[in-house]
A and B are shown apart, each in its own frame.
Chain A
Amino acid sequence: NAGVMQNPRHLVRRRGQEARLRCSPMKGHSHVYWYRQLPEEGLKFMVYLQKENIIDESGMPKERFSAEFPKEGPSILRIQQVVRGDSAAYFCASSPAPRSTGGFGSPLHFGNGTRLTVT
C-alpha cells in the first residue's frame, strides 16, 4: 500500500518563475492537506481539499498561491512568480473522510515533502 507520494523531492526555481508541486494521497484517502515548513520551524497549515473542492484555504497567502485537487490526477500546489521567501519544505498529507472516524479527527499521513529553493 503506497503512502502519500509527492514529487518532485527537490525543486529549484529562479525568482519570478512558477513552481508546481504534486501530491497523490494514500489509497482510500479522499482528503488532502498542504503544509509549509520553514527551516527550524513547525508545520504551517495552508489548504485542505477534497476532490474538486477546496474545504479550507485559510492558511494560503492571498496572492500567487493556489491549489487544486481534480477529479482525476494528483493534487497540485501552484506558486506563481516565486520569491526567495517561498523557499521551504512543502508537505502534503492525506486522511480518510472525517465521518469515517466517528466524529473525531483522524491522523494525517505525510508525504516526503518537496523542498523548494528559490535562487
Chain B
Amino acid sequence: GENVEQHPSTLSVQEGDSAVIKCTYSDSASNYFPWYKQELGKRPQLIIDIRSNVGEKKDQRIAVTLNKTAKHFSLHITETQPEDSAVYFCAASYAGSQGNLIFGKGTKLSVKP
C-alpha cells in the first residue's frame, strides 16, 4: 500500500518569509496529491492539489511542485502571514484505491509576527 512521509514536523518562520514542506510517497501509481490546512479544533480544509500529469501549480501565495521520478512533492508558501499558522497535511491517492487518501503526519507551521 501507499506510505506518505512528511517533513519537517514543526516549522517556525518570521512573518514575510517563505515556508516549504516536503512529502515523499512510495507507490508510483499514485496520481493525485492534495494539501490540507487544519486550524486548531477545526476540520481539514483543502488548500491546493496537483495531479500527476502536472509538475507545478500555483494559487496566489501557495504553490505545489511534484517530482514523479523522485516520488516527492512540496508545498511552498510565500510572504507568510500569522493566519497561515496551522497544521498542514500532505496526502496521496491512486486510482487503485478508488479515491482513498493516505495522509502524512502533518507539519505544524508557526508564523511569528
Which chain A residues have a beta carbon within 8 Å of chain B's beta carbons?
Answer: 31, 33, 35, 41-45, 48, 55-56, 58, 91, 95, 98, 101, 103-113
Task: Say yes or no: A105 contacts B93, CB within 8 Å.
Answer: yes
8 other A-B residue contacts (CB within 8 Å) besides A56-B98, A107-B46, A110-B36: A33-B100, A43-B89, A95-B99, A105-B97, A105-B101, A107-B49, A108-B46, A110-B44
Closest to A55 in B: B98
Task: Say yes or no: B103 contacts A48, CB within 8 Å.
Answer: no
If A43-B89, A91-B44, A113-B43 touch, whether A105 touches B31 (CB-CB below 8 Å) is yes
A113 CB, min distance to chain B CBs, angstroms = 6
If A107-B34, A109-B46, A113-B43 touch, whether A31 touches B99 (CB-CB below 8 Å) is yes
B28 CB, min distance to chain A CBs, angstroms = 14
Tell me, yes or no, whether B42 is within 8 Å of chain A by CB.
yes
Q: Pick the contact of A98 from B34, B45, B95 — CB < 8 Å? A: B95
Task: Say yes or no: A45 contacts B100, CB within 8 Å.
Answer: yes
Of the four ranges (under 10, 10 to 19, 20 to 34, 35 or more), the interface on chain B belongs to 20 to 34
Q: Pick the contact of A42 from B32, B95, B103 — CB < 8 Å? A: B103
**Residues in A whose Cβ lies below 8 Å from that of B95:** 98, 103-105
Tell me, yes or no, whether B51 is within 8 Å of chain A by CB.
yes
* Docked complex Cα distance between A12 and B88 (Å): 28
Closest to A106 in B: B99
* Docked complex Cα distance between A48 and B102 (Å): 12
Task: Say yes or no: B32 contacts A105, CB within 8 Å.
Answer: yes
